[in-house]
Structure 1
Amino acid sequence: MRLFDEFYKIVGIYDNRVELMKSIKENIKRLNKQMEMVSFFYENQYSIRDLSEKSAAFLWYAYLTDFTT
Protein backbone atom coordinates (compact mmCIF):
# COMPACT_ATOMS: atom_id res chain seq x y z
CA MET A 1 0.00 0.00 0.00
CA ARG A 2 1.09 3.54 -0.60
CA LEU A 3 0.64 4.60 3.04
CA PHE A 4 3.16 2.00 4.22
CA ASP A 5 5.71 3.35 1.73
CA GLU A 6 5.21 6.99 2.70
CA PHE A 7 4.88 6.63 6.48
CA TYR A 8 7.26 4.14 8.06
CA LYS A 9 5.55 4.37 11.47
CA ILE A 10 2.35 2.75 10.16
CA VAL A 11 2.36 -0.93 11.08
CA GLY A 12 -1.18 -1.72 10.02
CA ILE A 13 -4.60 -0.41 9.10
CA TYR A 14 -7.48 -1.82 11.11
CA ASP A 15 -11.24 -1.53 10.88
CA ASN A 16 -11.79 -4.16 13.55
CA ARG A 17 -11.18 -3.35 17.21
CA VAL A 18 -10.23 -6.96 18.06
CA GLU A 19 -7.55 -7.05 15.36
CA LEU A 20 -6.22 -3.67 16.52
CA MET A 21 -5.93 -4.90 20.11
CA LYS A 22 -4.23 -8.09 18.92
CA SER A 23 -1.67 -6.06 16.98
CA ILE A 24 -0.99 -3.77 19.95
CA LYS A 25 -0.46 -6.76 22.25
CA GLU A 26 1.94 -8.36 19.76
CA ASN A 27 3.91 -5.12 19.51
CA ILE A 28 4.13 -4.85 23.30
CA LYS A 29 5.42 -8.43 23.53
CA ARG A 30 8.03 -7.71 20.87
CA LEU A 31 9.14 -4.52 22.62
CA ASN A 32 9.37 -6.29 25.98
CA LYS A 33 11.60 -8.97 24.42
CA GLN A 34 13.84 -6.26 23.02
CA MET A 35 14.07 -4.60 26.44
CA GLU A 36 14.95 -7.93 28.05
CA MET A 37 17.85 -8.28 25.64
CA VAL A 38 19.06 -4.76 26.38
CA SER A 39 18.82 -5.25 30.13
CA PHE A 40 20.67 -8.59 29.89
CA PHE A 41 23.67 -7.04 28.15
CA TYR A 42 23.75 -3.88 30.28
CA GLU A 43 22.53 -5.18 33.63
CA ASN A 44 25.33 -3.45 35.54
CA GLN A 45 24.43 0.01 34.29
CA TYR A 46 21.96 1.70 36.62
CA SER A 47 19.99 3.60 33.97
CA ILE A 48 19.22 0.49 31.92
CA ARG A 49 18.44 -1.60 34.98
CA ASP A 50 16.07 1.07 36.29
CA LEU A 51 14.44 1.34 32.88
CA SER A 52 13.87 -2.40 32.64
CA GLU A 53 12.01 -2.33 35.96
CA LYS A 54 9.64 0.26 34.54
CA SER A 55 9.75 -1.02 30.97
CA ALA A 56 6.01 -1.45 30.46
CA ALA A 57 5.18 2.15 31.39
CA PHE A 58 8.17 3.48 29.48
CA LEU A 59 7.38 1.46 26.36
CA TRP A 60 3.75 2.56 26.37
CA TYR A 61 4.85 6.18 26.70
CA ALA A 62 7.45 5.80 23.95
CA TYR A 63 5.01 3.92 21.71
CA LEU A 64 2.25 6.50 22.13
CA THR A 65 4.67 9.40 21.71
CA ASP A 66 6.03 7.84 18.54
CA PHE A 67 2.50 7.09 17.33
CA THR A 68 1.29 10.68 17.77
CA THR A 69 4.23 12.34 16.02
Structure 2
Amino acid sequence: MPAGKAAPGSRVPSRPGRAAACSGSAGFLLGGWIGPGIARRLPGHSLRRLAAACGLAVAVKLGYDAYAR
Protein backbone atom coordinates (compact mmCIF):
# COMPACT_ATOMS: atom_id res chain seq x y z
CA MET A 1 0.00 0.00 0.00
CA PRO A 2 1.53 3.38 -0.97
CA ALA A 3 2.24 5.88 1.76
CA GLY A 4 -0.64 8.28 2.33
CA LYS A 5 -3.26 5.90 0.91
CA ALA A 6 -5.94 4.28 3.03
CA ALA A 7 -7.03 0.69 2.63
CA PRO A 8 -10.34 0.26 0.80
CA GLY A 9 -13.27 0.52 3.18
CA SER A 10 -11.31 2.16 5.99
CA ARG A 11 -12.36 5.43 7.50
CA VAL A 12 -9.65 8.05 7.68
CA PRO A 13 -10.52 11.28 9.48
CA SER A 14 -9.84 14.43 7.51
CA ARG A 15 -7.58 17.16 8.77
CA PRO A 16 -9.38 19.96 10.62
CA GLY A 17 -9.56 23.24 8.78
CA ARG A 18 -8.44 26.67 9.84
CA ALA A 19 -11.94 27.54 11.10
CA ALA A 20 -11.94 24.54 13.44
CA ALA A 21 -8.51 25.46 14.77
CA CYS A 22 -9.52 29.07 15.35
CA SER A 23 -12.78 28.17 17.10
CA GLY A 24 -10.98 25.61 19.27
CA SER A 25 -8.33 28.16 20.19
CA ALA A 26 -10.96 30.76 21.06
CA GLY A 27 -12.80 28.22 23.21
CA PHE A 28 -9.64 27.32 25.11
CA LEU A 29 -8.79 30.98 25.70
CA LEU A 30 -12.29 31.95 26.82
CA GLY A 31 -12.60 28.85 28.99
CA GLY A 32 -9.28 29.59 30.65
CA TRP A 33 -10.37 33.15 31.29
CA ILE A 34 -13.92 32.48 32.53
CA GLY A 35 -13.52 28.99 34.05
CA PRO A 36 -11.65 29.84 37.26
CA GLY A 37 -14.25 32.43 38.26
CA ILE A 38 -17.06 29.95 37.78
CA ALA A 39 -15.18 27.21 39.64
CA ARG A 40 -14.61 29.52 42.63
CA ARG A 41 -18.31 30.31 42.92
CA LEU A 42 -19.72 26.79 42.55
CA PRO A 43 -19.92 24.50 45.58
CA GLY A 44 -17.29 21.76 45.49
CA HIS A 45 -19.68 18.81 45.48
CA SER A 46 -21.69 20.10 42.51
CA LEU A 47 -18.52 20.77 40.52
CA ARG A 48 -17.29 17.22 41.22
CA ARG A 49 -20.65 15.78 40.16
CA LEU A 50 -20.60 17.81 36.97
CA ALA A 51 -17.06 16.63 36.16
CA ALA A 52 -18.03 13.01 36.88
CA ALA A 53 -21.13 13.25 34.67
CA CYS A 54 -19.09 14.74 31.82
CA GLY A 55 -16.49 11.98 32.19
CA LEU A 56 -19.17 9.30 32.09
CA ALA A 57 -20.78 10.90 29.04
CA VAL A 58 -17.45 10.88 27.20
CA ALA A 59 -16.82 7.25 28.18
CA VAL A 60 -20.26 6.18 26.95
CA LYS A 61 -19.82 8.07 23.67
CA LEU A 62 -16.37 6.58 23.03
CA GLY A 63 -17.59 3.10 23.95
CA TYR A 64 -20.57 3.42 21.64
CA ASP A 65 -18.39 4.65 18.78
CA ALA A 66 -15.93 1.81 19.30
CA TYR A 67 -18.45 -1.03 19.43
CA ALA A 68 -21.40 0.31 17.40
CA ARG A 69 -20.72 -1.69 14.26
Tell me, yes or no, whether TM beats 0.5. Answer: no
Give the TM-score taking structure 2 as reference length: 0.38
Structure number with greater Rg is 2
Q: Which has the higher helix share?
A: 1
